[in-house]
Every structure is written in structure tokens, then in C-alpha cells.
Structure 1
Amino acid sequence: MSSSRHRLLGLPVLAVLIAAAGCSPSDDDATAAVPSPDSAVTAMCRNLDGALPRKLDGLDRRDPRPASALTAGWGSPVIILRCGVLRPPKMIDPKVAEGSDPDAVAGGVNGVDWLMEKQDGGAYRFTTANRKAYVEVSVGKGRDSSAVLVGLAQAVKKAIPEGIAD
């Protein structure tokens, strides 16, 4: 399988496109489905969990239920991170690579490539690209997504090596 099939090509930094994007559930008892990746990806996700910031965009870490090293959360309404998710179908959609899909945009923030997908209600879902594991971040309406991605970049670069996930 060619690595270029999954590579998101030369698109501009997402920060310009997402400065006003926002978050998800509004209750304090957020839940998140826990991914079930293989053992190699689980190990990377555990490393990511240990590298994640205690505060993100000024919000304290408040992990969703059920408790897992594969999920994390910040604030209320909560920003949710899930590590070890499956590759999103849009990741290999040629319309995204061409920039002709208005609901999915590829780009990079501080050395981490992301696929941005617009969700219902003004929320966004971001999934890492060109890394050995897929990390998904859900950011709801009204939250500065660029600050969230900048805040996560160092931890992702430290814990999830560059490459193409299976």
C-alpha cells in the first residue's frame, strides 16, 4: 500500500480555517466510546495519555467516562480526545486531498497533520494524519479549535511517531 494514498498533501495551516470552531456535550458527566486498537497502538496511546496537558485552551482536564488511557477530556462543554480510533473514510477521499469537499479539510498545525470534518451543530472533529495511530479530537461550537490543536501538538509529536497507521 502506497504511503501517498494516506498522505494529506500540501494544504494550508488549519488555524486560519478553524479559529472560531467549538465543542460538544454540555453536561459535566461526558462519556466517550473507548477505542479498541491493537497492542502496539494501545502502547502509543498510553504514552500520549501521559504526555497530554493538564490544561487545554485554559480548561482543566476532566476525563470522560468510562475512565481509560485511550480517552481524555477538558472543560465543560468538554473537548474529547480518543486515541486509537479507526481511519476516517474521508481520510482517503480524493475530494479532500483536492480541497473540493467543503465538510472535510486537511492541513497541519505545529507539525501535526489533521483531517478536519465539520459536524452537525457547528462542532468539528479532527483526526491526526501521517502518524502511526489515529487520534481524534472533538471540539464543539464556540471553542477556539486552533488553540486546542496547538495545545495538543507537542504531546502528539512526542507520543505518536510519524508514519502511516494501519
Structure 2
Amino acid sequence: MGRAVVAASCLAALSLTAGCGAAVRVQPPAPQGATAAACASLDGRLPRTLDGAERVPSEPPSPYVAVWGSGEIALRCGVPRPAALDPTEQVPEINGVPWYADPARPSLFTALVHGDYVELTISSRHQAAAVLVDLAAPIKTAFPGH
């Protein structure tokens, strides 16, 4: 794979500052209290592989961030409510997890779980629906209704 393709893959992760080396740079959120505990629980439940991409380290290391591939898929747990989300808006559910798809950023999804938010960036190289399905069970288990 050429350097241009690798660079484009890194850039596709939107809010990431991807340094396609050993670790991928992602700014971790700073959840508090029960949200922080649920996010730490989620970290241990996440799959090692998503849509063929292996989980890789993030920089700085954080229990609130998970990255697969060279930044192609990135999860940040405990982020603020998406600014564009209308609180009365109905969002689609995938396996019991409601996902808000940001209309301005088509590769950005946010799970809405009991007043907490899990942000997911998925590059166009991956099947978003498959990734969202694979993350539903770990998210539901980590956020059982808190």
C-alpha cells in the first residue's frame, strides 16, 4: 500500500490526529463518576477485531479510547452530547443501541446510552453497519441503565 493511501486512510478518521505509527493519536475525553466507570468497563469488553481491523494502541493511552486499524475506526467514550443532536429527534437503533449519525460528518456516529455518549468514527473503508452491530452488545453491557 502506498504512502498516499496510508495517509488518506489516516485522514479519513475525521476527529483523529492519526499518526500511523505504532500508536494512533486520539484526544481522550474526560468522563466523570458513573460515566467514567461505565467507559472503563466498556474498554475491557471491546472486540480485538472490528470489520477486519485489529485493535491498536492509542496515544496517549486511555481507557476511554479504542482504535482499530491505523485509525480507520476510533471510539471515544464519555464525550459530550453532539451539538447538532436535537433532544426530540428519533434516532435509529441497532441491536438495542440508538445511534445518532451526524449529517455534517457522515463517518461520525454517537451511541446514546442513558444520558451518556460513545462517539465512533468509521472510515469509508469499513462497513459502518457491521461495526455498529459488533459494538452493540459491549455498549449495552457496559451501560446497563445507569
* TM value normalised by structure 2: 0.78
Q: Which residue of 2 aligns with 1:144?
A: 127
Equivalence map 1:49-88=2 (5 Å): 49-88=43-82
Pick the structure with more strand per residue.
Answer: 2
Q: Does the Cα contact within 8 Å between 2:113 and 2:143 map onto a contact in 1?
A: no
The answer for unaligned runs of 5 or more in structure 1 is: 1-22, 99-105
Q: Does the Cα contact within 8 Å between 1:59 and 1:75 map onto a contact in 2?
A: yes
SS in structure 2 opposite 1:61?
Answer: strand
Matched residue pairs, number?
130
Change (3 A) 1:77 1:67: closer
SS in structure 1 opposite 2:63?
Answer: coil
Separation in 1, partners of 2:24, 2:104:
18
Q: Does 1:27 align with 2:10?
A: no
Which structure carries more relative contact order (alpha carbon 8 Å, separation 6+)? 1
Change (3 A) 1:108 1:30: same
Q: Does 1:107 align with 2:92?
A: yes
Change (3 A) 1:162 1:113: farther
The amino acid that maps onto 1:62 is: V
Q: Does the Cα contact within 8 Å between 1:45 and 1:70 map onto a contact in 2?
A: yes
* TM value normalised by structure 1: 0.70
Q: Which residue of 1 aligns with 2:83?
A: 89
Q: Does the Cα contact within 8 Å between 1:34 and 1:82 map onto a contact in 2?
A: yes
Q: Does the Cα contact within 8 Å between 1:87 and 1:134 map onto a contact in 2?
A: yes
Query: Which range moves more in the overlay, 72-81 or 147-156?
Result: 72-81
Aligned identity (percent) is 36
Show CA shifts across 1:72-115 (max 9, x none).
01112421000000011122265xx27xxxxxxx2111111010
Q: Does the Cα contact within 8 Å between 2:94 and 2:133 map onto a contact in 1?
A: yes
